[in-house]
Amino acid sequence: MKRYAVIGLGNFGFYAAKSLYEDGNEVVAIDLDKTRAHAIDPYSTEAIVLDATDNAALKSLGLETMDGVIVSTGTKISTSILICLHLQEMGVKKILAKALDEDHGKILKRVGATEIIHPERDMAIRISRNLSRPNILDFIPLAEDYDLVQVGPPKEFIGKTLNELNLRAQYNVHVIAIKELVPDNFLLVPPADFLIKDSDILIMLGKSEDIKKIKALK
């Protein structure tokens, strides 16, 4: 089980926290607004009413032990910048921050965010590309208990071939493709002797419960 925190429970933060929780993760949801914290309470491990710009209060939560922290505050740019700075100084290794625009994203990067999220831009691009360049994966009808997912390889997968891992026998999942980031390459139906690198993305098909077992590996 992985542990995440979501700071800011507007629409984006609410659904991010809810999805992480429903995937079996431990989720701490944080917002200054009591109503928002109350709304997320059934879909989180713990819902906390707290001013995340208060460095001392934020430190008391021990967020540096989390696998990742999502910062999804409102339209006041200074708020997210200050929170990211506090998290970076605390030693949080993975900080995903929602940006309002490109300049905001650049500033967030400078103060510690490891990944910038542009929800409207990214969704617009995805919808447009699906219309103009439809991906066949979007049209595969899957049963309710099956997932088609992209997964970063756990440590124990790195340096081993697909044949050595034998994921079909071990976990009952199929690796149908691999995205290589270094070098940039997409490999459909990879051969059994393909050696897994830490920069690869595995595209897997299998039952939801079996996929979760692989996601739980570190």
58 part of a folded domain: yes
> Half-sphere exposure (CA, 13 Å, Cβ side) for 64?
11
In sequence order, the 6+-apart residues with CB closer than 8 A to the CB of 187 are 177, 178, 179, 180, 194
pLDDT at residue 208 in the model: 84
Single-letter amino acid code for the residue at 177: A
pLDDT truncated to tens, each residue of the chain (218 aa)? 899 999 999 999 999 999 999 988 999 999 999 999 999 999 999 999 999 999 999 999 999 999 999 999 988 899 999 999 999 999 999 999 999 999 999 999 999 999 999 988 888 877 776 676 555 455 455 666 788 888 888 989 999 999 999 999 999 999 999 998 877 888 999 999 999 998 899 998 988 888 888 888 86
131 part of a folded domain: no
pLDDT at residue 165 in the model: 94
Residues 115 and 152 in one domain: no
Residues 118 and 142 in one domain: no
Q: How far apart are CA 20 and CA 11, in angstroms?
A: 14
Whether the model pTM is above 0.75: no
Backbone φ and ψ of 113, nearest 5°:
-65, 130
In sequence order, the 6+-apart residues with CB closer than 8 A to the CB of 14 are 36, 39, 40
130 part of a folded domain: no
Residue range of the domain that includes 156: 138-215
67 part of a folded domain: yes
